[in-house]
Structure formats: C-alpha cells, structure tokens
C-alpha cells in the first residue's frame, strides 16, 4: 500500500501512522489484498481484515500474532504454500529481497538447497519455510539440514514460527513502502 507524495520531512513513524490509518480506512477488498502480501493464509487475512482498526504498529503486530496463534495446521500449510522454495528466485519482489542471499550463492550451494528442499517436502509434505532476511544461502542450507532431523510435530511449529517472523517483516514493509 503506497502513499505517494508524503512530505519528505515526515519521520518514518509519521509515515507508518499515515499508512496504518489508510489500512484502517480502506475497503475490505483492499485490506485483504494488502494482508495477503504478508501471509498466504486465507483465515489470517480475513481475521486481520475484520480486526481493523489498529492504533499503531505494536497493536497491528500483536493482533497478527494472536490471529496466527489461533490458526489451524491447515491455515499454516496454506500460508507455507504461498512461498517459493528457498533458492528459487521466481517469487514476489519481497520474496526475492528476503532471499537475496541465495541470489549470489554458488551453483553447489544452490544444488544442495534444491536437494534439501526436495528432501524436506518429501519428509514433511510442505515447503521449507525460514525467515531468510539477512541470511546467506549457506546459512539457510545449514538451517534446512538441521531441521530435516526434526519430527513432524516439532517441525510444523518451527515452520509456523518462521512464518510469523516473515509476517512481521512484511507488515513493516507494507507500512513503509
């Protein structure tokens, strides 16, 4: 949700407050579209749309967390399915930014990530999710290899926590564009 023409002397917090007000006041379809950029779970998107208005970024994030915690395994899986595989640069602009460490990876690391993604999908039945921002491809590969050793119950919660972290980053991006 961009707000063109915001005065250049406004602080970042001023801009966020203006964007929160715009998110609060926009049509439900627009809000759903914006929230969908942050999380692929239909239930989460609907609940966030209904939860408006938000008073500030802290309230928005706290609400996002409460709704995410109330989501079912199926809701989580729907959100995971909206992500490209780690190392796949075909996603949205935000996904590409978040996975920028993979964009400069060696062919050997990319091949290992592709194999790890396949192994993970075969074992758990869903896409490997990691908050990739600020991580190199080698770091993401190490996390992937470590998490392959988890059992299903532990891993679904790890993946859900990573999605929650990604959601926070994307909510902030949404309010800072």
Q: Which of 55, 24, 29, 71 lies closest to 167 in space, CA to CA? A: 71
The neighbour count for residue 34, using CB atoms within 10 Å, is 21
Q: Which residues are catalytic?
A: 83
d(CA 83, CA 91): 7
| Rounded distance between C-alpha atoms, residue 43 and residue 122, angstroms | 26
Do residues 132 and 140 touch, judged by C-beta distance below 8 A?
yes
């Amino acid at each position: 949700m961009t707000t063109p023409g915001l005065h250049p002397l406004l602080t970042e917090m001023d801009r966020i407050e203006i964007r929160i007000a715009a998110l609060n006041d926009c049509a439900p379809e627009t809000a759903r579209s914006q929230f969908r950029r942050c999380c692929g779970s239909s239930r989460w998107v609907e609940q966030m749309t209904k939860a408006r208005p938000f008073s500030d970024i802290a309230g928005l994030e706290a609400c996002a967390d409460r709704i995410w915690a109330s989501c079912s395994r199926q809701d989580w899986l729907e959100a995971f399915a909206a992500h490209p595989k780690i190392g796949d640069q075909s996603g949205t602009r935000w996904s590409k930014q978040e996975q920028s460490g993979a964009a400069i990876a060696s062919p050997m690391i990319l091949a290992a990530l592709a194999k790890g993604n396949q192994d993970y999908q075969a074992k758990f039945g869903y896409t490997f999710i990691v908050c990739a921002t600020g991580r190199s491809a080698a770091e993401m590969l190490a996390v992937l290899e470590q998490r392959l050793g988890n059992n299903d119950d532990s891993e679904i919660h790890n993946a859900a926590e990573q999605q929650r972290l990604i959601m926070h980053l994307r909510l902030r991006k949404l309010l800072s564009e």
